[in-house]
Amino acid sequence: MTGTTRIVVVSAGLSVPSSTKLLADKLGEAVERAVGARGQEVDVQHVELRPLAHALADHLLTGFATGELAQAIEAVRHADGLVVVTPVFSASYSGLFKTFFDVLESGMLDGKPVVIAATAGTARHSLVLDHALRPLFAYLRAVVVPTGVFAASEDFGATDDGSLDKRVERAAGELAALLGGASAPAAAPQRRTVADEFAAPTPFEQLLREAGGSSVR
């Protein structure tokens, strides 16, 4: 990978301050250190969804993004890796969190390395990571790192071996490993997006051939 590695941290916390944002900040810093430790330039950008709530509801109804939401979507499109953090609401990711990923164009996350993380009042919700977030990002064809980071309120105080910081470091290290160095895996195949089509239109003769063939376009 050449040039600056771009990381976008998407967090869906609602209160100020929120433990979700706190976890997002920890992960952002850890990823910055882990990628930097591999000798890469790194840029970490935070996207908080709370101020985009209205724009997201409008997008659902109109089909297009405006203002800061449009910028946030572009940041995700161009990110090399993502950290996504949601509070647990009713045994799953929050609706606001899901809405952001609902309005992304198909294919935008194809092959993108992602750290999944969640917060809740109690550790009893910790399987949300594997029962809700992991399937969502599998559907979006992202590459989810093995360690998911879950933080219950009590984790912000614990310092033992299984501490939150250790899991944060491990997830950040796994993301950095996917992002850089000579041993990084080859880029995963990506679906063609509208932006690709604008950049290099499929010639009509090919469209005509495909129409008569067996493809779905």
Neighbours of 211 (CB within 10 A): 9
CB of 216 to other proteins, least distance (A): 5
Token pair recorded at residue 136: 């969502």
Rounded CA-CA distance 96/99 in Å is 5
Nearer to other proteins, 139 or 156 (CB): 139
Query: How many amino acids of this chain bind other proteins (CB under 8 A)?
Result: 24
Of residues 37-96, which lie at the interface with other proteins (CB under 8 A)? 57-58, 60-64, 66
Is residue 156 involved in binding other proteins (CB under 8 A)? Answer: no
Of residues 192-211, which lie at the interface with other proteins (CB under 8 A)? 194, 197-198, 201-204, 207-208, 210-211
Question: Which residues, 6+ apart, have CB-to-CB distance to 132 below 8 Å?
Answer: 91, 92, 93
Rounded CA-CA distance 4/179 in Å is 11
Nearer to other proteins, 61 or 186 (CB): 61
Nearer to other proteins, 107 or 170 (CB): 107
Which residue's entry shows tokens 């850089």?
180
CB of 185 to other proteins, least distance (A): 30
Nearer to other proteins, 78 or 192 (CB): 192
Token pair recorded at residue 1: 């990978």
Instruction: List the end-to-end C-alpha distance of the chain, in Å, as a whole number.
Output: 31
CB of 62 to other proteins, least distance (A): 5
Eight-state DSSP code of residue 185: P
Nearer to other proteins, 17 or 63 (CB): 63
Pinpoint the alpha helices (H) of 159-201. Answer: 164-179, 194-199
Eight-state DSSP code of residue 155: G
CB of 201 to other proteins, least distance (A): 5
CB of 163 to other proteins, least distance (A): 44
Nearer to other proteins, 16 or 211 (CB): 211
Which residue's entry shows tokens 């250190």?
33
Cβ–Cβ under 8 Å, residues 151 and 13 = no
Helix (H) or strand (E) holding 61: helix 53-62
CB of 141 to other proteins, least distance (A): 17
In the complex, which residues of this chain contact other proteins (CB under 8 A)? 57-58, 60-64, 66, 194, 197-198, 201-204, 207-208, 210-213, 215-217
